[in-house]
Structure 1
Amino acid sequence: MTAANEHVGTGTLGKAIDVLEAVAAAPEPLRFTDLLKLVDQPRGTLHRQISNLIEEGLLSVRRDNSYELGLTLLKLASRAWSGNQFRAIAEPHLKRLHELTGETVHLGVLRGVEVIYLDKVESRQAVRMYSQIGNASPVYCTGVGKAALSALPDAELEKRLAAIVFKRHTETTLPDLAALRGEIAEIRASGLAFDRQEHEVGIHCVAAPIHSRDRDFVAGVSATAPAYRISMEQLTAWGPLVRETAAAIMEDMAARLGPKA
């Protein structure tokens, strides 16, 4: 499990999720000994968890006895994505922002101290980015993540901040909590968050927060582009469009899902 992941399962289901998250986050298939190091479970418990997950189709075993996510998870993920109300509400607004900027647009939801990419509209230009639907990224070095943090009530924000473990991804990654607090204050004042090549070298973005009326649900939307083609000045000029997109999504959420959306 990564240090940034807040989930540590205690019940049976939680322990199973820990295993699935470790397998999903690994850059290559894991063996049992690898999982034993990554999840905080006794050997016997881990054996049972893996056996149960394989039986349910949530994990599969490769020829070299390593593990990968099973097809049942793919089917569940597909159904969750296609049936997600928030994504469906946001989709036309994401497409409009994409049409106005011509660049990649992301929709991300805050989970713990990570942001999960729920939807993505690709740039008209072929540019390789880390982000994929379902992927998780740290909140402190992504525009969507910082935007979502800024929408949290103060008490909840402090809990999330306390759980962050800072890791330098690029030379411009925010180094510590003081720097992040300063940016959050700026985001709350302007309604805009920036990723200045903080997660990926050569990729930057401008983002705006999305939240429900009672702020028990927070997310973010961003326009993302390669630094060699789009300057920070152009990115900043897109700020009002990104804010308008976030506002339109929130308005539709309130109209279709009610105040508890």
Structure 2
Amino acid sequence: MTQHQDTETGSEPDGPDTGTLGKAIAVLDLIARAEVAPRFTDLLTLSGQPRGSLHRQLRHLAMEGLVELGPDGGYTPGLRLLQFASRAWSRHSFRQVAEPHLKHLHERTGETVHLGLLREDEIIYLDKIESRQAVRMHSQVGNAAPVYCTGVGKVALSCLPDERLAQIASRLRFQTFTPATLADAGALLSQVEAIRARGYAFDLEEHQPGIRCVAAAIAVPEANILGGISVTAPAFRADMDQLEAWADDVCAAARAIVQDALQRLGPRR
């Protein structure tokens, strides 16, 4: 018996060996990242998948509540994803370890505090405590940000072995967000060297205009954790003197998180 063919394209087999789950997740990722809800034709172009396969994947994702089709024909993430995200966030053991230290850092600085983890070439924000000040950031827990233009991203990169760092830097696509965004791998590697010598990283309006931060690394290889913690504020409240003043508190919080993570999340003996 011949292997079943995609009846709408006549060419693509439909089975587990085709990476069906991976392709569906890739489509879901395209929908989740889009600033404007993409239509079927948009996803067809972005995904590069055959029309029939994409149609089936979207139908299955919709049936499971993972995507929703709007009245204008655009696809958005489904409510079931919110349930998954809420459960993952509330039960994430590392977030629970870090939470009291985030609160303490927030109390000392009064500014926005972020906790992020390195995932491939991005930083995923795992937790955030909002500033008490009138002007705030619009970042969200669960969002991803580039490693090369964020304090948490650059400080996490500084903990990697040179070979791994070079691999990541060579495959990054350096999008210009502001005039201060690093433009290429050479500039990133040079800045990482300065971060290693200094012990903490800055984001000087490199990702968002008017937003600065200082970040320290959190590296717990025993628990497969690599990321960082940062204090972020509008530029008019975060000149270099203020960022340097916050650096001690940020580094102290990072060390405390690492110590607690080693005790609670490290390998059992």
**TM-score normalised per structure 2:** 0.90
Query: Contact (CA 8 Å) 1:192, 1:207: kept in 2 or not?
Result: yes
Distance 1:98 1:216 in 2: 26
Question: Which of residues 190, 199, 205 in structure 1 aligns to 2:207?
Answer: 199
Q: Where does residue 242 of structure 1 map in the other structure?
A: 250
Cα displacement (A) at 1:13: 1.7
Letter in 1 for 2:200: L
User: Does structure 1 retain, via aligned residues, the 8 Å contact 2:31–2:38?
Assistant: yes
Counterpart of 2:89 in 1: which secondary structure? helix
Cα deviation for residue 171 of structure 1 reads 0.7
Q: Which of 216, 224, 227 is the equivalent residue of 1:219?
A: 227
1:4 aligns to what? none
Residue aligned with 2:218, SS? strand
What CA deviation, in whole Å up to 9, does each residue of 1:178-228 have, x standing for no partner? 110011111111210100000011000000111114584311100001011
Aligned-partner residue type, residue 33 of structure 2: A
Structure-to-structure mapping, 1:62-81, within 5 angstroms: 62-81=70-89
Unaligned runs of 5+ in 1: 1-9
Give the counterpart of 1:46 among 54, 68, 86. 54
Residue equivalent to 1:162: 170
Is 1:254 aligned to residue 268 of structure 2?
A: no
Q: Aligned match of 1:230 in 230, 233, 238?
A: 238
Q: CA deviation at 1:72?
A: 0.8
**1:90-109 alignment, distance < 5 Å:** 90-109=98-117
Which stretches of structure 1, 4 residues or longer, exceed 2 Å deviation after superposition?
126-130, 153-156, 213-217
Aligned to 1:12: 20
Unaligned stretches of 5+ residues in structure 2:
1-17
SS at match of 2:236: coil
Cα distance, 1:153 vs structure 2 = 2.3
Inter-partner Cα distance in structure 2 for 1:211 and 1:258: 12
**C-alpha separation between the residues in 1 aligned to 2:116 and 2:63?**
32
What TM-score do you get using the length of structure 1 for normalisation? Answer: 0.92
RMSD across aligned positions (CA): 1.4
State the percentage of identical aligned residues. Answer: 57
